Chains A and B, each alone.
Chain A
Amino acid sequence: MIKLTDVSYTYMTGGPFEKAAVSDVNLTLNNGDFIGLMGHTGSGKSTLIQMIAGLIKPTSGTIEIDGQTLHSKDCNMRKIRFKTGLVMQYPEYQLFEETVFKDIAFGPSNMQLPDEDIKRRVEFAADLVGLAPEILEKSPFELSGGQKRRVAIAGVLAMEPQLLILDEPTAGLDPAGRDEILCKIKDMHRRLGITVILVSHSMEDLANITNRIVVMNHGRVAMHDKTSEIFKKSEELQKMGLAVPQITEICEKLRAAGLPLSEGIYTVEMAKAEIEKVLKK
């Protein structure tokens, strides 16, 4: 369980450019959930995930992960960092090794694991993100953009984190590349039972894949609920500079026109099933 209590973060405290990025966040996330994190640019999403990953320390408030308070005296931050994997935006720019294998192995090597253990982890992580074994001996710089990104994600997975945080993993990818990465992440979540936090601007992606969503607005948590509940609030989301998937907009308008559809439809398949039922009656 991840528990944030009165968490705030201020950049450049005391200076003329002091800016509160996150204010008074109280949030409890359960293990095993697939959580979507959305909010407009500058809403505090990235600051929040950096705090959860233990990279920056809250200006005030506490973050507990499985009963351990981050940055407290009796908390082993090194261990916590091994438990939490953070995939940053455009992670393909962080590749640096001679071969894909070495790049993925960098994290586990730093965990001082025996060689055969590292090899097992690298092969497992590569398989999870769908990289063929023959790619492991190539230079990461020979690969396509989508492949590079999968290598970067595999590098984090090889740490075998219990909590995986991804900051816009599909930005700049085409629809096929996007579906492939999301499908792999969904599959990983199911196979490994880990907790996933996915930051995204794509409402369609979040609708298709998450079971809970946290909405940030001006540094505060504006909503936190099941995915189906979040997309019932299209008006509020739009006021925050966000959007609902086009399919949700269509179903809302049809409901307004008198069609008996459920509230909060957020995938094309759901919409198709309901509209079909209504029209074929």
Chain B
Amino acid sequence: MDGKTNNIVVDIKNVEFLYEDTEETGGSRVLKDVSLQVRRGEFLAVLGHNGSGKSTLAKHLNAILIPEKGKVMVEGLDTSDESLLFDIRQRVGMVFQNPDNQLVATIVEEDVAFAPENLGVPQKEIRERVDYALDAVNMTEYKDHAPHMLSGGQKQRIAIAGVLAMKPDVLVMDEPTAMLDPAGRREIMETVKKLNREEGMTVVMITHFMEEAAQADRVVVMDHGKILMEGTPREVFSRVDEIKKIGLDVPQATELMYLLKKSGLNFETDILSADECVNVIKDVYNAAKEAL
């Protein structure tokens, strides 16, 4: 595990970025001296309020945007070198918020085959890649369906399969669950965790849902174009006051423990999940009952 995590897939070094449309951004920098390393095999969540620069950062990972200052290296390839564009985009695949904007074909398996076809992959290998990708997102039984007849979660899984068929090393997702219902959100989180844990896929996920970020290996919090916090979900979410101050939230389980602690009960605030929270409260309750 350690040898793996030392391996850097994307290296972002002192990146600055400014959109040309200065009226919208008020002329201020969207990214200010951002440095971040994405480690091979990790599940990294990026949090931040609207306008904090997190989508802009994500777009730097596969050369959709090129840094104004600083460098982004994808497995040693410099994203500012236009001749490397194809290699970089093949290594880093992107999934966006709205699945309807990402599907191109009228049949699911044709949609998934779109990228490898464009990459000139031989026919036989396309078949293998499509089968693998559909299986990885658990959508094989829908391969002959029309994408527009599927649910939001299913459509988004097809979009992920479309990226997997390129055989990327990193999967970058920009709020992939924002438009989905709770069942769809669960489907996507299960798919992402499976890809990460079983297939070893490196995942970078931007999200507004704290419960989703709590499931990552590492969390980065962006604020006003800078990286404000970085650490395990437990480390980051235990800083409840700071998180709330920049307009973000913590999972409800964490917030409950925080409020109870504030009111004088001796609880830890580095609680992330419902089950952890239940166990801590249950233990305190049972101990108090026995003491009587």
| Residues in A lying within 8 Å of B, measured CB to CB | 39-42, 141-142, 144-146, 171-177, 201, 203-204, 241-243, 245-247, 249-250, 253-254, 257-259, 268-269, 271-272, 275-276, 278-281
Contact = CB atoms under 8 A, between A and B. Distances in A.
Contacts of B183: 40, 241-242
B184 A272 contact: no
A272 B256 CA distance: 6
A250 B277 contact: yes
Interface in B96-127: 97
A41 B151 contact: yes
Contacts of A254: 278, 281-282, 285
Given A40-B151, A257-B282, 8 more contacts: A144-B50, A175-B208, A176-B49, A177-B50, A269-B259, A275-B260, A279-B265, A281-B288
Interface in B247-292: 247-249, 251-253, 255-256, 259-260, 263-265, 274-275, 277-278, 281-282, 284-285, 288
B255 A268 contact: yes
Contact of A275 (B23, B281, B288): B281
Contacts of B208: 172-175
A40 to B, nearest CB: 5
Contact of A247 (B179, B252, B265): B252
8 contacts: A40-B181, A40-B183, A173-B50, A177-B247, A242-B183, A247-B252, A250-B277, A257-B278
Given A41-B151, A175-B247, A253 B278 contact: yes
Nearest to A280: B265
B150 to A, nearest CB: 10
Contact of A246 (B49, B264, B274, B288): B274
A35 B23 CA distance: 39
Q: Which bucket holds chain B's interface residue count?
A: 35 or more
Contacts of A257: 278, 282, 285
A278 B285 contact: yes
A242 B260 contact: no
Contacts of B251: 246
Given A175-B208, A275-B260, A142 B181 contact: no
A41 B181 contact: yes
A145 B183 CA distance: 26
Nearest to A256: B278
B183 to A, nearest CB: 3
A203 B265 contact: no
Contact of A250 (B51, B253, B259, B285): B253
Contacts of A249: 274
Nearest to A17: B149
Contacts of B184: 41
